[in-house]
């Protein structure tokens, strides 16, 4: 049982982190939460519940037939950022595995009917973050879920990109989440001396591709090989996306106060 004064302090610190979340990525926010002194998953649970409420709210907006196109697009982006944040919080042991299970089950509910395409894309975003970690402790659940994604996608009219992402997920899962395939992609990029730099412009990531000084290549290769645990991680090192925008932060602060 968490003492009331300790709980109040955790919520206060969480509010401070969220108020300064503009432009930060999910990983950066998770690392800030993890840096709170002696914070445990049990103590973090009220904050986790608030984040899940934000997830639920976005899902309701997307499921509503009265939601306009612009609002739906905002809700989809917010939903993706939310599941990515919860995934990174799981990696730093502040969110329990049952929360990840719950999110996946809400995105892809039981049944044989094809889900909305955004649900599949959102599931992919979450598994990009946590798949390699779940494979170590929850392989059977992970295999079953990805198998269901593959099956539902095969029966759907989803776009080419969604089909490719699901197939990528399937392929990387059957190689036991080893990073060899993605490292090969990175090696090809390094060989072509391409460097990617991105700037946040009003909440949108604007990226430039520049020729790279060949003298930097050995250091870059060493850095990449030393840091990659998640086979999808190279995508984050190349292009960090998913920064939180002001309206996302407002929603999370509101849910935390409830």
Distance CA 17, CA 30 (A): 10
Strands 194-201 and 204-211: antiparallel
pLDDT at 167 over 80: yes
Question: Taking residues 114-119, what's their average pLDDT?
Answer: 90
Residues 1-31: tens digit of each pLDDT: 567 787 788 888 888 888 888 878 888 888 8
Q: Is 216 left (phi over 0), alpha (psi -120 to 50) or beta?
A: alpha
In the structure, how many helices (H) and strands (E) does the chain have? 12, 2
Question: Taking residues 111-133, what's their average pLDDT?
Answer: 89
- pLDDT for residue 33: 86
Residues 61-75: tens digit of each pLDDT: 999 999 999 999 999
Q: Which of 120-129, 136-145, 161-170, 236-245 has the lowest mean pLDDT?
A: 236-245
Q: Is the model more confident about 186 or about 48?
A: 48
Residues 192-246: tens digit of each pLDDT: 544 555 555 555 444 444 444 444 545 554 555 555 556 565 544 443 445 555 5
Distance CA 52, CA 189 (A): 37
On average, the pLDDT of the chain sits at: 76
Q: Which CATH architecture has domain 4-176+244-257?
A: Alpha Horseshoe (1.25)
pLDDT band, very low/low/confident/very high, at 188 (cuts 50, 70, 90): very low
Inter-helix orientation angle 97-107/117-137, to 10° = 150
Q: Pick the most confident of 38-42, 88-92, 190-194, 244-248.
A: 88-92
- pLDDT for residue 122: 94
Question: Taking residues 66-93, what's their average pLDDT?
Answer: 92
Q: Is the model more confident about 93 or about 233?
A: 93
Domain boundaries, the chain: 4-176+244-257, 183-238
Q: What percent of the chain has pLDDT over 70?
A: 68
pLDDT at 104 over 90: yes
- pLDDT for residue 181: 40
pLDDT band, very low/low/confident/very high, at 191 (cuts 50, 70, 90): very low
**φ and ψ at 209, to 5 degrees?**
-110, 120
Q: Is the model more confident about 32 or about 241?
A: 32
Extract the tokens encoding 238: 């190349």
């Amino acid at each position: 049982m968490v003492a009331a004064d300790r709980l109040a302090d955790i919520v206060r610190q969480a509010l401070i982190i969220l108020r300064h979340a503009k432009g930060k990525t999910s990983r950066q926010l998770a690392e800030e939460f993890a840096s709170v002194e002696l914070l445990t998953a049990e103590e973090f649970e009220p904050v986790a519940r608030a984040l899940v409420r934000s997830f639920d709210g976005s899902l309701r907006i997307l499921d509503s037939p009265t939601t306009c196109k612009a609002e739906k697009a905002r809700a989809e982006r917010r939903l993706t950022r939310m599941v990515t944040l919860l995934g990174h919080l799981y990696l730093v042991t502040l969110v329990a595995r049952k929360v990840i299970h719950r999110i996946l089950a809400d995105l892809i509910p039981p049944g044989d009917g094809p889900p909305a395409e955004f649900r599949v894309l959102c599931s992919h975003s979450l598994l990009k973050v946590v798949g390699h970690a779940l494979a170590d402790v929850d392989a059977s659940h992970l295999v079953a879920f990805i198998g269901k994604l593959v099956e539902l996608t095969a029966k759907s009219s989803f776009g080419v990109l969604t089909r490719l992402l699901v197939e990528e997920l399937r392929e990387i899962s059957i190689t036991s989440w080893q990073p060899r395939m993605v490292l090969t992609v990175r090696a090809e990029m390094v060989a072509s001396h391409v460097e990617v730099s991105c700037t946040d412009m009003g909440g949108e990531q604007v990226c430039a591709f520049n020729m790279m000084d060949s003298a930097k290549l050995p250091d870059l290769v060493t850095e990449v090989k030393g840091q990659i645990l998640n086979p999808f991680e190279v995508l984050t090192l190349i292009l960090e996306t998913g920064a939180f925008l002001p309206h996302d932060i407002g929603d999370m602060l509101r849910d935390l106060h409830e």
